[in-house]
Amino acid sequence: MAYIDDLLARGERIRYIGRQHSFVLVSNIITEMVLIGLLIAAGIVSRAAFEQRSIAGQPIGIMIMAACAVISLLVLVSAVLDFYRWNNEQYAVTDQRVIHVRGIFNKAVSDSSLEKINDVTLNQSWIGRIFDFGDLEVITGSDIGANYMRKIAHPIEFKKAMIEAKQHYSRGFGYLDPQPVAAYVGVGADQNPQRAHSVEDTLKSLTDLRDLGLLSADEYEKKKQELMNRS
């Protein structure tokens, strides 16, 4: 079971999972591989240049080459850790919140409740548009104020998933499967734009969903009480 599954509350469902674009991982690894190549070349050149010189009986060229080899090994370890950091960093949109998980051994988790999200801004460079990555800033009403997602893959899809999850949550359908709900209430339909904004209509839709078997009696009573508390 993935770590993010352990964070979910009872009945909470994941609607979308994203991560940093592979462009971030590849660019870091390429940089580290170039650095390793330069260190190896420097070690070979220094060995030839200082072959006849020594300090305390130790050839300088061999010492410099050994130092370059040790540093190269550390850079290689850093490249491996970069992969695991990238692989373990996830952004998830659930029917209740947006979750950010990062860390290999020690985990750091931050989340923003859907009801506290005020705005989502997207910044995408021309390179980001070509390779489909960008930066998302989730502005909330909490003390932290914002949650910044750097170079996330498919940012437009992720932003749409957040907006749709917030819309379903505010209408009282947060924890339901969005497809049958959207098909029934006509989310985004032009023929009845006021329906989803009415508490009475939402209650009627909940009742019909219960009668259709899409909603249990306990779930119906729970969502009905939540709607009454919000109205």
Query: pLDDT digit string (tens) for 165-198?
Result: 888 777 665 555 555 555 554 444 444 444 444 6
Q: How far apart, in whole angstroms, are the C-alpha atoms of residue 177 and residue 79?
A: 40
Which among 135, 33, 20 has a CA at the least distance from the CA of 76?
Answer: 33
Per-residue model confidence (pLDDT) at position 57: 66
Of 148, 187, 150, 172, the closest CA to residue 223 belongs to 172
Two structure tokens written together for 212: 């259709």
DSSP 8-state code for residue 87: H
Q: How far apart are CA 9 and CA 76, in angstroms?
A: 39
Are the C-beta atoms of 198 and 185 separated by less than 8 Å?
A: no
Beta bridge partners of 21: none
pLDDT band at 145 (very low <50, low <70, confident <90, very high): low
Average per-residue pLDDT for the chain: 79
User: Which residue from 19, 11, 15 is spatially nearest to 155, judged by alpha carbons?
Assistant: 19
Q: Does the structure show a pLDDT above 70 at 123? A: yes
pLDDT at position 196: 44
Domain boundaries, the chain: 22-88, 172-231
Strands (E), 60-145: 90-94, 97-102, 108-113, 117-123, 133-140
